[in-house]
Amino acid sequence: MRMYDILVKKRDGKVLSDDEINFFVKGATDGGIPDYQISALLMAIYLRGMTDKETLSLTKAMELSGDTVDLSGIDGVTVDKHSTGGVGDKTSLIVAPIVASLGGKVAKMSGRGLGHTGGTIDKLESIKGFNTSLTPDEFLKQVKEIGISIVGQTGNLAPADKKFYGIRDVTATIDSLPLICSSIMSKKLASGASAIVLDVKTGSGSFMKTLDDSRTLAKKMVDIGAMAGRKVAAVITNMDIPLGKAVGNALEVKEAIEVLKGQGPDDLTKVCITLSSVMIGFVTGEDEKTCLLKAEDAIRSGIALSKFKEFVAYQGGDITGIDDTELLPKAKFKYELKSQRSGFITHMETDEIGLSSVMLGAGREKKEDKIDMGAGIIIEKKTGDEVSAGDVLCVMYADDESKFTTSASRYLNALTIGDEKPDKKSTVLDIIRG
Ligand code: URA
């Protein structure tokens, strides 16, 4: 088999066989196929698309390109969640303890921030002492004992995805349905959970900008999961606006704790309750309404917060910052960004808001950059809110005062302020079940 012939076939819009896809994924992973041929095929897939059968075959080959996690030793239903990436998305920190407090087994591997989006592992590392690199045995032992563990993805989980993602990032081939679908699902299948709930974001802060594209992606991922023998559902949520008020690692941990204490913002609480209820449905088999009530009650009764504390303590984190969130890392400087005009916020370019937080030190501009854990933004006015000239739009936090000017100008450019109050969009837009 020759890579050249595979390129010609996809370039001309033909369907690749399982053997051809396996040949490509194996060669890309072991270095047998050079980056220029990998890039060419990724671009051909981007332009020509893939059938569902090809996408499944690509996903399976990527899943099996490295280690797979065996969770069969855990009693009960193992359930995982994955977000397609957003701004202010701290849902894993809230949903995982809710579900674990109700009997689900959450063995979760998470990532770091990427581009304008944040990552759960960076957020957890803002808790003093929290260890995100457990050995596989420690990880499994913890899930068996307390029902929850969240660790960084092991180096050899779906290595083909790591290779492709790096190339897609610099060849304008990220936003392709079969490539996103195989990227996410290969990692989730390799992570071993029997049930998976996907939070598919839609809008200006996500990789999928329209609801139609997000629905198509969600359906594809749910189908691929079912074909691979897993229970999968997708919740489509609004990312035309940052989720909650906090963007930035320690600020987001603080907001997640507020939700677990029943004092968080409504939009974030609603998304977390919905995701939790779908996960609980997979664990208990109960109907939607019962699962929603159980998720709400886990917050009201305090069992989800207790589970969060148990989880943080088990992984070496300092729990004093949970009781008193003033003890979480704080930036040295703060800056109030004020509105220059009056009106209504009609639109937020959410990815730009994520990037202005990255510029404050809350994310990485280059892979090796160090994150300032206390840096980020608290958003005071969001889409639909009325503002008067002089009102605080957001409060920015950074360890380096010189970062405020450029970040604030990027933030202001991301907002549209008009005279008409815009219609409010729901936070949860759809649920797609297999
Ligand atoms: N998240 C992933 O893991 N992969 C993609 O391709 C896009 C978002």
Which is the catalytic residue, given 82, 123, 163, 307? 82
For residue 423, tell me if it sits in a domain: no
Give the model's pLDDT for residue 357.
96
Residues 355 and 316 both lie in one domain: no
pTM confidence score: 0.93
Confidence of residue 85 (pLDDT cuts 50, 70, 90): confident
Confidence of residue 89 (pLDDT cuts 50, 70, 90): very high
For residue 408, tell me if it sits in a domain: yes
Counting ligand 1 atoms within 8 A of each CB, the residue from 46, 174, 175, 201 with the most, and so the one to mutate, is 174
* Catalytic residue status for 65: no
Whether residue 366 is predicted with pLDDT greater than 90 in this model: the reply is no
The rounded Å distance from CA 172 to ligand 1 centre is 13
In contact, 103 and 148? CB cutoff 8 Å: no
For residue 54, tell me if it sits in a domain: no
Give the model's pLDDT for residue 172.
87
* pLDDT tens figures, 331-359: 999 999 999 999 999 999 999 999 999 99
Polymer length of the chain: 434
CATH number at residue 362: 3.90.1170.30
Residues 299 and 377 both lie in one domain: no
CATH number at residue 7: 1.20.970.10
Residues 137 and 233 both lie in one domain: yes
User: Hey, what's the torsion of the CAs at 316, 318, 319, 322, to 10 degrees?
Assistant: -130
For residue 339, tell me if it sits in a domain: yes
Residue 137 makes CB contacts below 8 A (sequence gap 6+) with none
- Element spanning 412, H or E: helix 404-413
For residue 67, tell me if it sits in a domain: no
For residue 364, tell me if it sits in a domain: yes
Q: State the residue range of the domain holding 153.
A: 79-324
Residues 257 and 395 both lie in one domain: no
Whether residue 117 is predicted with pLDDT greater than 90 in this model: the reply is no
Residues 302 and 393 both lie in one domain: no
Whether residue 113 is predicted with pLDDT greater than 80 in this model: the reply is no
Confidence of residue 396 (pLDDT cuts 50, 70, 90): very high
* Catalytic residue status for 112: no
* pLDDT tens figures, 401-412: 999 999 999 999
* pLDDT tens figures, 279-333: 999 999 999 999 999 999 999 999 999 999 999 999 999 999 999 999 999 999 9
Confidence of residue 54 (pLDDT cuts 50, 70, 90): very high
Residues 343 and 320 both lie in one domain: no
Residues 37 and 89 both lie in one domain: no
* Catalytic residue status for 161: yes
Average pLDDT over residues 189-212: 92
Whether residue 115 is predicted with pLDDT greater than 80 in this model: the reply is no
For residue 425, tell me if it sits in a domain: no
Handedness of CA 281, 282, 283, 284 (dihedral sign): positive
Whether residue 370 is predicted with pLDDT greater than 90 in this model: the reply is no
Closest residue (by CA) to atom 3 of ligand 1? 184
